[in-house]
Structure formats: structure tokens, C-alpha cells
Structure 1
Amino acid sequence: MDKKHGETQFKAAHGLLVAFLTLIVVLHALGIYLFTSGFLLTRIVLDHRSECAAPPADGAAGSPQRGCWHPKTFEKAVVVLIDALRYDFTVPQPAEQAHHFHNALTVLHETAVAQPRQAFLLPFIADAPTATLQRLKGLTTGTLPTFVDAGSNFAGTAIDEDNLVSQLRRARKTIVHLGDDTWHALFPGHFDAELTRAYDSFNVWDLHTVDNGVSEHVFPLMHAANASKWDVVIAHYLGVDHAGHRYGPDHPAMAAKLRQMDAVIRDMIRQLDDSTLLVVMGDHGMDAKGDHGGESDDEIQAALWMYSKQPRFGRSSPAYAAPPQTAKERSVAQIDLVPTLSLLLGLPIPFNNLGRPIEEAFIGPAGADYHNLATVSRLTAAQIYRYQEEMASVQSMDEVARASSLASFGFANDAWDAAVKAADAGRFAHVYELYTVYQQETLDICKALWASFDLPRMLNGVTILTLTLVLLAVYARGVAGDVSELSPQLLSRGGFGALASSLIGAALPEVSRQHSIIYAVAMGSNLGIASSFWSLRRRLLFLLPTTIWGYLSATFAILLSVGFAANSFTIWEDEILLHFLSTFGLLSTLSSFRQPNMTDRVLGVYHSVLFVLLSRLASLSRLCREEQMPYCQSTYYASATSSTSATWQLVLPLIVALLLPTFIRGYYDGTLSYQNSAIMWLGFGLRFGLLLSAVYWTLDAADDGEWYPSYGGMLKTLKTVIAQVTLAIAIGVGAPTFIWAKPFLNIEEGPPHTHKPHPSKQIVPKGPNSGASIAVLGYGNVHGSRYAILITIWYLALALVQKPMGAGALALCAWQIFSLLEIVATNQLASSAIGPVILSLMGSFHFFKTGHQATLSSIQWESAFIPLHTIRYPWSPLLVVMNTFGAQILCAVAVPALVLWKQQPRKKGLLGDVARAVATHILFYASVSLATTMWAGHLRRHLMLYRIFSPRFMMGAMVLLVVDLVSVFVAVVGMRVSSLSVAEVFGVTM
């Protein structure tokens, strides 16, 4: 076979392999989508609208001028939303017990205590997920969020159901919005175009732009000369939230932002007129690190304050004469704001509302107007009753939930009947209590039965993932010979099956067509692949493992998959992964002792011990989740209450820059491969890029800590430029080096006896009569050394977007990868499943060590701005993905090196071996994803579904798709580049 023909054959085989693995990616995506569309459904949304002319209770009709269902109390309103305003930020504390977030925003508490008839301050309890977009939906519709909303926090779509903003617009009120641009995604076209000012909400490192912009425009609007231009102003401040994300709540920057908000509210009080309501509230709180998204007490406890120049408010009990110190004493739900504001402003209550009127707003200044309180409670309860009747008539996808819903509503209606009887008797205080009971029982029912699960979709999604998993297992471990040769047959039959099935699905009724087509395409493709395996049944192997390493690989996968059924196992996944890696290191040490070759024995033992030590060292980096307390101590940040790195951690990127290239060079020196372009990249390019990364994080710490306040602007610009240069080195220097470099070989000439024997040195005679010979240095690792450069290039790019502790953990991961390559080579495990499985375990383990958890609040959104000033699509989301899944990406890139390391250039079957290794690596993640999917579906009514099982399912699905894409389009394509480079010198072998 001539060289050109060989290259053509290799490229064709490689292209078909990529196409087949891409088909597997598509099948995974279809299965995940189908399950997700059934599992993460939004609640039942009714498109009904409350009308001014159609009150829910008899005798409640009014007019828009004096109030639709109830006489309005205020003509106008200024609604100030201070993002992430936690309740305890507003309550004073003794100086000796105070933190930075105490005693800075004092005006709310002062006025509520000094003027109880004009102001009240209450804990304002949010429903999880505590992300801004979901909270805004709850604050305007009066309904509860659902799981699917958690994944859409930065891609909000317009609210179609009845809500407070649309009711204002229907009443021809002029609404002005200032601040967070999320409102415009939810309510497009609802705000006055001339007066509204929206600001980007995603840059959590910017503490001042949004706040200063809101203040700049809100105070001129409140001036008497402009009072006629608007009816409702919504001012959404973001600085408190951003200070929490950037520094944590217990930081001087938080105190400064709270003092700024205190001054803003005092100025608003001075400018407020008698007919305008002033509302200040938080949409959620924040945890000890300043993050939010979950359902811990600190995340759900926001603050609500209402103020009027006239005595409009009151309290029914002296116990509430002063605001409580904690949210446990007296609190209101955030959904209660919707009926409260609607009735205070004379609007209909949105149709889907489940909240109740806030007592302090309607009890009257004397705290005894139970007639008014009973009236507004009756209106609200009647609207809920109307909503309940409509919702109960909707056919639920989950028949168990539907049956329970109908039975439970019947129980809640007993309270409704009792309230109607009490109203006839004129016992208004009792009426109010009974309507409150009715509302609470209805709300509890909806909380328990809110998600309407589409079980057929969920089961079909699981079926697709299961069948794809089985076929991938057969491909990876169950076919004898070169699996890359199977690509044409598998691809053609899989594609034909998908096409034929899609035609059948398209012929089904419109109501189920999308579901049917997706399911038919996936199943048809799977059955087509299965038919190919059946035709090759003589080549099929027994799938059960035949070696200790095979059994160990299967054991790791099975134990993880089964363990995710338990919440404690899921919570402590990082510790379990550490034990798995340590177990492998111990067994590889014992195996290395049994190697007949002394060199292999020494190398195997050394790298096995080093592997365990590196795992233990990486375990020192911890970001504890709430459920692990008090048995875990976070070390990833400066403290458990901080979102910034400790000053001493800045030395970690510098140490990595100085040492890691040297350590990696040692692996190249060991195979005589530190030649040519490897010298330029490892000795200069990689090291210089890592040094720049260390400089970036030092400048970032100086910017965060305001070490040089007068140079703040320059620091921001300089660090962004340095980050861009670092990425330019990885992309502009590293990538071309990998693509166009020659194999890392060198030549030594001399008499045969002068060449020292080495497994990576090939000695050939120079000529028949010359008496000299040529030694080819790096010959024994020409494939592995050439490909492994790709690992270091990706490491540089990924390390930049990790915080200092994360960069250190990822460096240990990179070091472990090279030690694993030596362990696999010295123990002759290149064809075993253990190498790809251990890389999967390492990716999962270092995911936790780089400061992440299977929780929404651990996502480091600020990584989107490391090389950028503003959001840039698709780069900003890509940077967040690189930060979050950096360890899994790096390990997926390394998979082909397991096969290629210490392989001579004319080794046959490398493409098939790489295909098998990549498929095994994907298979492990597919097993975990399927397990978390099945357990999430099975435990869909579990108390810990949202807190533990649902986030772990979402993480498993995301990781699988990311690893799929990286494995196919980076690892397998990278293998093609390195193999063709070697083929230019030695010819193509397949």
C-alpha cells in the first residue's frame, strides 16, 4: 500500500468513526431531551385573565377609578427591588456580634419601629429555586416556580400567564422600569420606552454601574414636576447581589453597598408624596458565600418593607409592634405580595395567584379592622377557589398526582364552606382565619402536587438511554477485532433505521407528533445498530469481565450507579470517588510488583504511589455543600463565608507555572521524546502561559481587595488583556504546534557500542560498510508524545478560567493523567477498560476539587468575564462550561493517550483501540447519567428531589453531553492529527 493510498484509507475510516460516535451523541441528546421534557415540566398554567368587571365574589364589583374589586389605597407605587436583600441585613445587631452586613442598612427597621402605622418590615420567604428570574415570576404572578425554571435563569422567556405587570398595563398605567434587564425578557413591551432604562444583569463583578444608573434616573422621576409621567416605577438594584457573589456577604464591600442602599431609601422617603406607596424588598437571600439558587434558610429569607406617608398600616398583635429578629417568628410568603399590591392599587388579582393578602396592609392603623381584612381575604380566596376549580378540571399527565389533587382539594374546600358560614354570621376575625386556612391548605396541595410529570415521555427517554448504553457497551467491550472497521455498517444501518422510523412518527396525530418522531428516530437508529451487531454475532464476546481490571471497572460503575439512589451517597460523592481512586492506586502498586521487567516494575510502583499521593493532595481542596456541615470544612475560598481566594492561594498558580512543565518534561525525557517542538512548547509556551495566568489572578486579587484604589480601572483592563494573551498562547501557539509539528524525534550517530540501550530508542545501521549506526530517539513513544501535547494545550486554557485553588487542583489532575499513562503502559493495560474508567473517576473527582458541587449555587458565573468586559455569545457560556466541567474535559481529551503512550510508530490497530477506549470512557458517564436519570424519575415525589436528586440528574446529563462532544470532536479528531503527523515519517498503519 503506497503512502497516499494509506492516508486516504485512514482518513475515510477515521471520518466514519467520528460520524458513528456523533450518532451516539445525538442518541444521548434525544434520550435526555425526551426524559427532561417529561420530568422538568412547568406547572399547569391556565391562560385565563382576571377581569375588572368579573370579580370572583358577589358584591365586589367596583370601577377602575376607585378600585376594581376593592377600593384602592394608593394611586401610585415605587417598587424598589434590592437583589439578594437578606432579611438579617436589615435587622440591627449589637456591635460585638455584628458582621459587615449588619448595621449598614438601618432605615427599614428604624421606620418600622418608630412609625408602625406608616411602615412595616417582615421576613419575605422565597420559594426555591432562589434564582432571580424564578423569583420575579413568583413576585408578579403569585405562583410557585418549578424545576425547569432553574435551568432558564439567564435565558428568560416572556410570561404569558396573568400577572401584576400585565394587569397594570391593561389598566392603562404607565410603568417605568430601571435596572436589571431580566424584566424585559419577562415583560417585553410592557414598560414606557422613553423613561425605562435597562442594564445588563450578568456581570457579577460590576458592583456599581447598575445601581448608579438606577439612582440617576429614579430620583428625577420622583420629583413633583415629573409625577404625572408615571404610575408605577420598578427600580431593581443589583449591587448587593453582585457584592455577595464577588466577595461573600461578610466583606467591607457588602457594608458599603448596604450603606448606599440606606441612603437611597432615605432620599426616596423624603421625596415620596402622600398618594404613593413605597415598597422595598429582596427577591431572595444568599448563603454564607454569597451564592443562591437553593433552599437553605439564608437563601430563602429576603426582606419586605412597605412605607406610606399617611397612616395606612397596622398590626393585629402587640407582639408585632417591632419587626422580629428572625424569620421564624413572623414571616410572609413572596407570593403574598401579588394580591396585596393588586388590591392596594385597585387592580384585579392575577388569575393563577396562590398568595394571600398581607395582614399589616389591611388591618388598619388601629390594628382592628377585621371587616376590611376579611373582605380582601374573601376576594383573594374566591379567586383561588376559581383557579382551583379550573385547575382540577385539567387532565394531569401524572394520574397519581391527579387523583391525589382532586381528593386533597375536597379537604381544602371544607375550610371554604366554614368561612362562608362564618361570614354570614358577621364574625369577621374568624372569617379571616378560615380563609387563611383555606388558602394555606390549597397552597400546600399545590406544593405537593405541582409538577405534572409526563410519565410516557420520561419512560421513553429512559428506554432510549438504556438501549444506547447497551449498544455502546457491546461496541466498547463486546466485539472482537478492530471496532473501527464496523463504523460503515453501524452508521448506515443506524441512519436507515432513524430515517424509516421518522416517517412512521410523522404520520402519527399532531398532538403527539414531536414526541413520536423523536422516540421513533432514536429507537429506529438503535435497532439499526443492534441489527448490525446481530449480523456480526460471531465476533461478539461475552460481556462479563475476564480480568481483575475488568471486574474493578464494572464494580466502580455499578457502585456509583446504585449509590445515587441514596441522598447521603450523593452528598458525599467526592469522598467516595477519592476512595475509588485510592483503591485503584493500591491495586496498581501490587500489580506493578509482579511485572517481570525491572524497569516496568520500578516505574509502575513509583507512579502508582504518586497517583495515590496526588489524589490525597487534591482532596485538600474542598467546597462543602450545606448538607455536609458540620463534618466538612471548606478550603477552596478564603473562608466559609467568602467568595474570594485567600491571599496565600495566589502562590498556587505561580508554583504550578514553575513546576508542572518541568514534571511533564520528565515524562517526555523518560521516553527520549523531549525533542523539537516539545522543547518550544513545554519549555517556553506552556510555562509562559501559566505564568501569565498566575499574574492574572494576582491582579484580580488586587482589584478585588482594592489594594491600589486609584489604579482600579487600569487593573481591570490589564488583567483582561493578560487573560486574552494567555488564551491566545493556548489557541494561537499551542494549537498550531499540535497541528503542524513533526514527530518528537531526534537522531544520534555513532558506532553501535556507543548507544546506550533504551526502550524508546531505535538503533539502525547507517550503511552496510560504514561501521556506524543511527539511534532514533523517541521512537518507542512517538504516538504518545505527539498526542499528549494536546492535553497540555487544553490544560493551559482550562487553568486560566479556574480560581487559584482550582488551578492547583487541575494541575494535580494533569500530573495524575501522565502518571496514569505510565501505570497503564507498564502494566500492559492499554486494551483494558480500567484506564478510560479511571479517567472518568478522575474527571468527576476533580470536578469537586475545582470548587464545584452538584448544586446551582456552586456555578462560578464570574468566569464568563475573565477574558471579556461584557457578555459575548457564545464565548461567555463557553467559558462557564470550561470552568465548571474543566476536569471532565481535560480527562476526556487524555483518553486516546492511554492507547498511544509508549506505542511504536508501526503498531497496527491503533484507530480501533482508540475507538474502544473513547467508547468506554463515554460508556462510564452514560451509566452515571442513566442512573441519576432513573433515580430522579423514581424519586420524583421525594422530599429531597430538588435539593439533591434533580441537580445530580441535571449535572449527569450535562457532563455526558460535554464529554461526548469533547471525546468525539477533540480527542478522536486530535488522534487523527497526531497519527497523520507520524505517518509522514513512518507511513500509515491501521
Structure 2
Amino acid sequence: MKQKLSAFLLVVANILLPLAILTFGSGFFPYKPFLPGLAEYRDVEIERAPEAPFDRLVFMVVDALRSDFVYSHASGFEFTQRLISTGAAIPFTAHATSPTITMPRIKALTTGSIPSFLDVILNFAESDTTATLAHQDTWLAQMQAKKGGRLVMYGDDTWLKLFPTTFTRADGTSSFFVSDFSEVDNNVTRHVPDELENNDWNAMIMHYLGLDHIGHKTGPRSPHMFPKQREMDNIVQQIYEKLESDTHLQSTLFILCGDHGMNDAGNHGGSSSGETSAALVFISPKFKQISNGVPCPCKTDEEFQFYNVVEQSDLAPTLAGLLGFPVPRNNLGVFISDFLPLWEDKDKLQLVLGNARQILNIVKATFANSPFEGSAAAENCDLATSSVNELACRWARATGHLNERVGGVSGNYGQKIARLTEVFQSNSAPGKT
């Protein structure tokens, strides 16, 4: 009897084990549809793209730049704080989903998608080339596809692994010499003055590693931390002053951001509030047209939630609007509404509607028998039988409102944009796609 019971339990265990592995795998490495090729405006039924306020980009990543490192009273970013106070810079806290390590965070920042935990393994494979984004739609690919598109990069060589054929000029540094606080950043900064004089690129990427190394070795309260923040702030000042003075840089968008934060021990990779809260600052003298500034520095926030909190994936569609290219095909982010005042009402609607249709294409690819075509809006979408039916209901309500007036471009733009944003939020929430 005992032998039969043991044999039965062994059979059950052998059945449950692969089922458990499959269940774990489906949750840990979920299926995500991939749409190949570069996005075009016609994909989202836009004939004329809204005029972009910027034509060049300086993208400065400071590795592990936690939000309080820029916004708090203890920050060394004094010049950046003055820009925020005067309206020349618009600050956010960018939420970085776990895993909070560099490679998946760069993927989120450039594609607008949500990377998986498989990227944790690829992040530590020095010779890995399987994780390349060279054939995926990113804002780098879109900038390169523009007339005269040329990109340059200096700093963390993760960018060179992800984009091996993208950059006209590049000088990469390894991120694994964590005892190096200085040379790893000096190797980036030495290129900045010459590149700011050059007029042959439309995107320059810099990725500084020193602050992250200080965190790993001595923690966020290290005596080395404030001087490093001051050093990074001096780079911000150097670039901003060139934006003000040089004609060829006057339509340049400057972004300062962290790829992730760090915890109290100076490490990252998990999902604590310190690790997932990165600084994100959009900088340009043009922003004084739409912003009177906000108080900065701020009181300490234990959750590191300063100003408006956005997703890192929101960067891709926002750059698309600000720089004038289609939103990358696999983007799940939402255009950051703080920048809508840069456009007239009709163009605001085009930006938001194009973003909505782009996300809708992903939803349709995810759900084979999608109910979006010809679906009618119910009075209460919350009563829908499934999340996809609820989303279809909200989409029908939003598009129905747009079609109430001729061409869908007159009437109350605020209500129209708000309803489309509601659709975005429904689609972007966990478990909706």
C-alpha cells in the first residue's frame, strides 16, 4: 500500500513540476507581441505631423541618479535647481520598473516598452550581442531615419551593445570597474566641448557611470557623492549655456535623467522606492514659454516621489512629439501632457490621438479576436466582462466623442484629450495588456 502511495505521489510530482515551471515562466517571461519595422505616421492615420519645437537632442544619463539627488536640499545640482525654479527646466520623477539595472532600463527609455527579467542575465554578459536593438523601432532609429540623422555616444558601452551600428562617433567605457569614480566620467566629458561645436549630429548621448560606482562602493551618503553631483551639475551648466548662446543649438532639447535609482546600501536591481525613482529633467530655454517654474529644492520625500511621477516608457512618445517623428511601434508609454501647451489645440489632439492609435495596434496584436472594430460604447464601461472589452468600450467612447463634430477636430479639446488619456491609462495599467 505504501509503495502504491509513493508511486502515486511521484507521478503527481512529475506532473506538477513541469506545470509549475510553465506557470513560473509565463509570469516571469510573459508573452509580448513584437511589431517589426519603423513606425510611420500613416500607421496611425496621421497625414500631417504637428510641427516639432525641437530638431536636436542632447541626452545625458547619469547612472543611478535617484530623484532626491537632483531635487532635495542636500543635492549638488544647484544650477539645475535654478533652471527648474525659473521654468527653463521641467522636472519629473521617472518610475523605473524592476529589474532596475542598466540594460532593461535603456530598453524602456528608448523603445517605450517594458523589458523582462531575461535582460538581467544579458546585462551581465559582456560579450552578448543577442540583446541588440539595432533592428527594433526606437527613438534612436527614428532620429537616424530623419534627414541628416547622425548620432554620437560617449559613456557606458551598454549603448554600443544595444545599438552596434547606430553611432557615427562613439567612445564606450565599461561599467564594471566600480572602483573608478573619475576617469570613467572624464572620458565622457572630454568629448563634450568639441561635440557642442559640431553641427553634424542630431542626437548626442552621454552616459556617466561615476555616481553609480560611488553608490556601489560607499553608499548614497558617501562623502564622494556631493562632489560628484556638483561635477554633473557643471556639465549641465556647460551644455545649457551653449544652448542659449549658439545659434545651431537653439532648437536643441536637453534631457538629464537617471536610468534607475539606488537603495540605502547604494545598490539596485530590485523594486524598492529608492531603486525605482529616477530623476528626469527636460531642459530648454523654450520651456519658459509654458512654465513659470516650480519651487526647487524640495522637502525630503521618503518615497522619493518629487513633482509629477511618470513612467520611463513615457519618454519615447514624448520625444516623438517634441522632436517630430512617429512614436516607436512597440511603445507602451503615454505622451507627457505637461508639454501639450507647446502646440495649438488641433495639434495637441493629433499627438494624443496618434499615441492612442499606436498603442491600439499593440493591443490588437495581443488579442487576436479583438472587439475594437465597430464596437459600441456601453453606458458603464466598468461593467465589461473582461479587461479587453472594457478597453474597447472606453476606446469607442473616446472616438465617438471625437466624431461628434465635423472631422473630430472642433469642440472642447480639453474633454477630448482627457477621454483619450483615460483610454491610455486603461491600456497601460498592469494586467490590461
Q: Is TM (by shorter chain) over 0.5?
A: yes
2:386 aligned with 1:407, yes or no? yes
Report if the CA contact (8 A) 1:139-1:337 is conserved.
yes
State how 1:230-249 maps to structure 2 within 5 Å.
Answer: 230-249=201-220
Counterpart pick for 2:170 among 188, 193, 196: 196
Please state how far the C-alpha of 1:51 moved relative to its aligned partner: 3.4
The change in CA–CA distance for 1:412 and 1:31 in structure 2 (over 3 A counts) is closer
Which residue number corresponds to residue 415 of structure 2?
430
Please state if 1:184 is matched with 2:160.
yes
Alpha-carbon deviation of 1:50? 4.1
Offset at 1:218? 1.9
Instruction: Work out whether residues 374 and 429 of structure 1, in 8 Å CA contact, stay in contact via their aligned partners in 2.
Output: no
Q: 1:270 to 1:328 in 2, by over 3 A?
A: closer
- Give the counterpart of 1:105 among 77, 96, 100: 77
C-alpha spacing 1:54/1:374, structure 2 compared with 1 (3 Å): closer
SS at match of 1:448: coil
* Map of 2:373 onto structure 1: none
Deviations 1:804-862 (A, max 9, x none): xxxxxxxxxxxxxxxxxxxxxxxxxxxxxxxxxxxxxxxxxxxxxxxxxxxxxxxxxxx
Q: How does 1:389-788 map onto structure 2 within 5 Å?
A: 389-393=364-368, 407-423=386-402, 424=408, 426-444=411-429, 447-448=430-431
For the structure 1 residues 39 and 411, does the alpha-carbon distance in structure 2 shift closer, same or farther, using more than 3 Å as the test? closer
Query: Relative contact order: is structure 1 or structure 2 higher (C-alpha 8 Å, sep ≥ 6)?
Result: 2
Aligned-partner Cα distance in 1 for 2:143–2:353: 22
Please identify, of 277-286 and 428-437, the stretch whose mean Cα deviation from structure 2 is larger: 428-437
Q: What does residue 62 of structure 2 align with?
A: 82
Deviation at 1:410, TM superposition (A): 1.8
Counterpart contact for 1:125–1:331, Cα < 8 Å: yes
Alpha-carbon separation, structure 2, partners of 1:267 and 1:432: 37
How far apart are 1:422 and its partner, in Å?
Answer: 3.3
Q: Does 1:267 align with 2:238?
A: yes
Q: Cα offset for 1:417?
A: 2.3
Q: What's 2:377 paired with?
A: none
Equivalent residue for 1:214? 188
Shift of 1:344: 1.3
Q: Give yes or no for the alignment of 1:342 onto 2:320.
A: yes
Identity %: 29
**Which residue of structure 2 aligns with residue 143 of structure 1?**
113
Q: Matched residue of 1:362: which SS? A: helix
Q: Secondary structure at the match of 1:344?
A: helix
User: Which residues of structure 1 form unaligned runs of 5+?
Assistant: 1-29, 63-68, 94-101, 396-404, 451-990
Structure ranking higher in strand proportion: 2
Which stretches in structure 2 are left out of the alignment for 5+ residues? 1-16, 244-248, 371-383, 403-407
Counterpart CA distance in 2 for 1:297 and 1:370 is 37
1:44 alignment counterpart:
32
- The residue that corresponds to 1:61 in the other structure is 47
CA distance in 2 between counterparts of 1:53 and 1:337 reads 18
Q: Name the structure 2 match of 1:128.
A: 98
After TM superposition, the structure 1 stretch with the greater mean CA deviation from structure 2, 417-426 or 344-353, is 417-426
Answer whether contact 1:45 1:161 (CA < 8 A) is retained.
no
Is the CA contact (8 Å cut-off) linking 1:131 and 1:292 kept in structure 2?
yes
Instruction: Return the offset for 1:182.
Output: 0.4
Partner amino acid, structure 2, of 1:46: F
Deviation at 1:125, TM superposition (A): 1.2
**What amino acid does structure 1 have at the position aligned with 2:39?**
E
SS at match of 1:197: strand
Instruction: Answer yes or no: is the 8 Å Cα contact 1:124–1:301 preserved in 2.
Output: yes
CA-atom RMSD in angstroms: 2.7
Query: What is the DSSP-based 3-state SS (H/G/I as helix, E as strand, rest coil) of the residue aligned with 1:122?
Result: strand
Match of 2:154, SS state, is: strand
Identify the match of residue 293 of structure 1 among 242, 250, 269.
269
CA–CA distance in 2 between the matches of 1:50 and 1:362? Answer: 25
Name the counterpart of 2:4. Answer: none
State how far apart, in whole Å, the 2-side matches of 1:218 and 1:188 are: 21
* SS of residue in 2 equivalent to 1:331: strand
Amino acid at match of 1:54: R
User: CA contact under 8 A between 1:176 and 1:196: conserved in structure 2?
Assistant: yes
1: CA distance, partners of 2:268 / 2:259 = 11
Local SS of the residue matching 2:44: coil
- Which of residues 67, 73, 78 is equivalent to 2:53? 73
Secondary structure class of the residue paired with 2:37: coil
Give distance in 2, aligned partners of 1:371 and 1:419.
16
Structure 1 distance, partners of 2:369, 2:144, is: 29
Cα separation, 2, equivalents of 1:215 and 1:376:
35
Give the Cα–Cα distance (whole angstroms) in 1 for the partners of residues 114 and 369 of structure 2. Answer: 18
One-letter code of the match for 1:411?
E
Range moving further from structure 2, 269-278 or 304-313: 304-313
Structure 1 partner of 2:340:
362
Alpha-carbon displacement from aligned partner over 1:425-452 (angstroms, at most 9, x marks no partner): 52111112111111111011xx3266xx
Deviations 1:701-725 (A, max 9, x none): xxxxxxxxxxxxxxxxxxxxxxxxx
Specify whether residues 274 and 236 from structure 1 end up closer, same or farther in structure 2 by C-alpha distance, changes over 3 A only. same
Q: 1:421 to 1:294 in 2, by over 3 A?
A: same
**In structure 2, do the counterparts of structure 1 residues 384 and 296 end up closer, same or farther at CA, with 3 Å as the change threshold?**
same
Q: Distance in 2 between matches of 1:127 and 1:89?
A: 19
Q: Distance in 1 between matches of 2:426 and 2:287?
A: 33
**Cα shift readout 1:247-276 (whole Å, capped 9, x = no counterpart):** 100011111110100111111111122111
Pair 1:312–1:381, CA change in 2 (3 A): farther
Rg larger in structure = 1
Q: Which residue of 2 aligns with 1:333?
A: 311
Quote the Cα distance in structure 2 between the aligned partners of 1:375 and 1:51. 16
Q: Report SS of the residue matched to 2:165.
A: coil
Residue type matched to 1:91 in 2?
Y
Displacement of 1:119 in angstroms is 1.8
TM (norm. structure 2) is 0.81
Q: 1:46, 1:161 within 8 Å by CA — same for their partners in 2?
A: no
Q: Any idea what the Cα deviations from partners look like across 1:547-590, whole Å, max 9, x if unmatched?
A: xxxxxxxxxxxxxxxxxxxxxxxxxxxxxxxxxxxxxxxxxxxx
Give the SS at the match of 1:412.
helix
C-alpha displacement of 1:406: 9.5
What is the deviation of 1:109? 1.9
Instruction: Identify which range, 173-182 or 144-153, moves more after superposition.
Output: 144-153
Letter in 1 for 2:391: A
- Checking the alignment, whether the CA contact within 8 Å between 1:138 and 1:335 is kept in structure 2 is yes
Amino acid at match of 1:246: K
TM-score normalised by length of structure 1: 0.37
Q: C-alpha separation between the residues in 2 aligned to 1:312 and 1:386?
A: 35
Structure 1 Cα separation of the partners of residues 180 and 79 of structure 2: 25
For 1:244 and 1:169, how far apart are their aligned partners in 2? Answer: 34
The 8 Å contact of residues 105 and 259 in structure 1, kept in 2 or not, is answered as yes
Question: What do the CA deviations read for 1:394-442 (whole angstroms, capped 9, x no partner)?
Answer: 99xxxxxxxxx99312212222222223333521111121111111110
Q: 1:168 aligns with which of 138, 143, 146?
A: 143
Is the Cα–Cα contact under 8 Å of residues 419 and 435 in structure 1 kept in the other structure?
Answer: yes
Paired amino acid for 2:63: D
Q: For the structure 1 residues 70 and 230, does the alpha-carbon distance in structure 2 shift closer, same or farther, using more than 3 Å as the test?
A: same
1:714-753 residue CA offsets vs partner (Å, 9 max, x unmatched) = xxxxxxxxxxxxxxxxxxxxxxxxxxxxxxxxxxxxxxxx
State the AA in 2 paired with 1:448: G
CA offset at residue 141 of structure 1?
0.8
> How many residue pairs are counted as aligned between the two chains?
381
Larger fraction in helix: 1
